Structure 1
Amino acid sequence: MKLSNAQYNEIAHFISTLKPTRQCMRRLKERFPSQSQSTLLSIFSQEYQKLMKRTHSKHHTPEAVELYYKRYLKDVMENPTAPVLLDLANEVDFSPALIARTILERFLQDQDGPIPTKPVLSSMLRDTSLIPDPVLANQVHQCVINDCCNGPLVDCIKHSVGYEHEVLLREKLIERGLAFLDEDQLRTKGYDKTPDVILEVPVAVDGHVIHWIESKASFGDESSHRTYLREQFWSYWNRFGPGLVIYWYGFIEELDCNRERGILLKDEFPNDIATLQDCMVQESRHTECKTEKSQETV
């Protein structure tokens, strides 16, 4: 689904008024009934990630960490079964999974032993049974399962959705009878950074020749698209030629401005693919038509 920049800004502005709870998607759908659930969810997730990046530093000052940790210890002592960390995250407008990670790291620093590393923290967030304190383990678990935009559960879902759309892309190419190499095949050939598929024989889409296709199971907003252009798409173009990017959950239509330079955007698998064989058949029919007209004139 393609949105104009004005439509996207209207959705983004409304999202800025919402708290990151499960009810927010119901409000979004009520406010924008013509937009798909998946598109709204993708936009919400991206806008929330931007907010977390902007406010991350203020929640990680030594003073803020100590304040949150003392607040946690006090509240959990009064009522250990209450969702203390989750309530704290909502109160200070911070990601539940991120505040859980902060408190967990601070807790482990108080324990005898080495300073917790990032892999150790990540493993404990994925499997809270590894946390030595059962009360904190339950608090962290509550934060992880109730965070709709951050944390190991969300990362797992995003990975699965991304893989699902890569499989969908390969299925569409096979249905169309197009020969291609996927990422795994390309890595065995020594490529380190590649698009999802490279076409063994180029095709034309909307009159533009493409050599590769990249699948993105997300909405293409200006920020993410600019990053992808810089870190991926122009690199692919430089190595493999012009290509196509599919934003399965839509994109801002004004961003599709690099077609003449070799990067096309679509929100679904294109139906108007022209292969070399199609062009040869069309040329053959054109030649036959000209021959018939020439004979009629004679």
Structure 2
Amino acid sequence: MKVELYNEILEEIKSFSGPGRKCGLYLQEKFPSISDYTLGSIYSLEYQRKMKRNRPKVYKRLKELYDRYNNAVKAGEDVGVMMRLASEVDLSPALLARIILEKYYEKHPEKSTEPVTKGFITKLMKDTTLIKDKDLAYEVYLCVIYDDQYGSISDCIKHSIGQEYELRLQRMVKDLNIAFRDEEHLRRHGYDKTPDIKLEIPIAVDGFVVNWIESKALFGDEEGHNTYFKDQYLSYWNRFGPGLVIYWFGFVETLELHNEKCIIIREDFPTNITLMDPTSIEPHPVTS
């Protein structure tokens, strides 16, 4: 994707006022030539970063927000108090619910039958029936159900999509009769950081030797790619040599200018592949 187009999409996202669902529909109308998956991924990435920026600001107002929540419940206001507060402070409903839940157990440790840890709060977020305070439980439940960009539901959706594209990649490799080991096999054999696919015999893509393939069911932008490169791709390169990263929902064109010796980047499974034939002196090209 051209940088200018990517920046235009970002500007529309940043200037839009409203929930993610409405922003998604707006983006689809504004950029009809771009797939919904790509627009949704760009929005999700920007939303996650905005939450990281806004979270410290909310913590500074935590006492005020916690008191306002309690006062609203005591006054018998309509349900959805937390969601209205989240909208006011421009924070994810699920994230605000978690913050208020943490504050509740900080003030009322006797309400918990086990130590109040991050894991304990996460368990309550996933199963709000474990929260003894019925008003608090329902408010948290509404926030979790409503929030499609942050929290357990969003994580499940992203995980499912990620698995779908990993399986798609495996099918494509199998169709070409290319031998490989998957992530699960590598971890069973003691590798901690593993690509989705480690090729048994390297292939060449447009003349570039590829030893492994990583599937990313998202849009590749500079910030995200640099983080993945530092945390994942560089480790793969050090251990297995150069590889291929597929950003299935596209990527900003500037990524192709970086890391040319370590990895190559594509937005789909490549077609110009050359296989190494151990029985022959010369490699032979294939078409996928």
Give 1:25's aligned residue.
24
Where 1:256 maps in the other structure, the secondary structure is: helix
- Alpha-carbon offset, residue 259 of structure 1: 6.1
Would the alpha carbon gap of residues 79 and 173 (structure 1) be closer, same or farther in structure 2, given more than 3 Å must change? same
The whole-number CA distance in structure 1 between the counterparts of 2:194 and 2:257 is 22
Give 1:53's aligned residue.
52
Q: Which among 87, 92, 99 is matched to residue 89 of structure 2?
A: 92
Unmatched segments (≥5 aa) in structure 2: none
Where 2:219 maps in the other structure, the secondary structure is: coil
TM-score (norm 2): 0.92
Q: How does 1:87-126 map to 2 (within 5 A)?
A: 87-113=84-110, 116-126=116-126
Give 2:66's aligned residue.
69
The whole-number CA distance in structure 2 between the counterparts of 1:276 and 1:112 is 63
Residue range with higher mean Cα deviation, 138-147 or 17-26: 17-26
The answer to whether the 8 Å contact 1:80/1:135 transfers is no
Where 2:246 maps in the other structure, the secondary structure is: strand
Give 1:161's aligned residue.
161
4+ runs deviating over 6 angstroms? 281-284
Give 1:292's aligned residue.
none
Give 2:2's aligned residue.
4
Alignment partner of 1:232 is 2:232:
yes
Letter in 2 for 1:235: S
The answer to whether the 8 Å contact 1:96/1:146 transfers is yes
Letter in 1 for 2:14: S
CA-to-aligned-CA distance 1:135-188 (integer Å, 9 cap, x gap): 111111111111121111111111111111111111111111100011111112
Would the alpha carbon gap of residues 175 and 101 (structure 1) be closer, same or farther in structure 2, given more than 3 Å must change? same
Residue range with higher mean Cα deviation, 253-262 or 169-178: 253-262
Alignment partner of 1:39 is 2:38:
yes
Would the alpha carbon gap of residues 245 and 279 (structure 1) be closer, same or farther in structure 2, given more than 3 Å must change? farther
Alignment partner of 1:246 is 2:246:
yes
- Alpha-carbon offset, residue 235 of structure 1: 1.5
The answer to whether the 8 Å contact 1:205/1:270 transfers is yes
- Alpha-carbon offset, residue 7 of structure 1: 1.0
Unmatched segments (≥5 aa) in structure 1: 285-298
Larger Rg: 1
The answer to whether the 8 Å contact 1:20/1:148 transfers is no
CA-to-aligned-CA distance 1:60-89 (integer Å, 9 cap, x gap): 12xx11111111112222335421111110
Where 2:198 maps in the other structure, the secondary structure is: strand
Letter in 1 for 2:43: F
Letter in 2 for 1:46: L
Q: How many residues align?
A: 280
CA-to-aligned-CA distance 1:229-252 (integer Å, 9 cap, x gap): 111111111111110000011101
- Alpha-carbon offset, residue 258 of structure 1: 3.8
Would the alpha carbon gap of residues 260 and 220 (structure 1) be closer, same or farther in structure 2, given more than 3 Å must change? closer
Give 1:290's aligned residue.
none
Letter in 2 for 1:82: V
Q: How does 1:152-231 map to 2 (within 5 A)?
A: 152-231=152-231
Where 2:257 maps in the other structure, the secondary structure is: coil
**More contact order relative to length (CA 8 Å, sep ≥ 6):** 1
The whole-number CA distance in structure 2 between the counterparts of 1:132 and 1:80 is 20
- Alpha-carbon offset, residue 282 of structure 1: 7.1
The whole-number CA distance in structure 2 between the counterparts of 1:207 and 1:132 is 62
Give 1:16's aligned residue.
14
Q: What RMSD in Å do the two structures reach over aligned CA positions?
A: 1.9
Letter in 1 for 2:202: P
Residue identity over aligned pairs, in percent, reads 46
The whole-number CA distance in structure 1 between the counterparts of 2:23 and 2:260 is 40
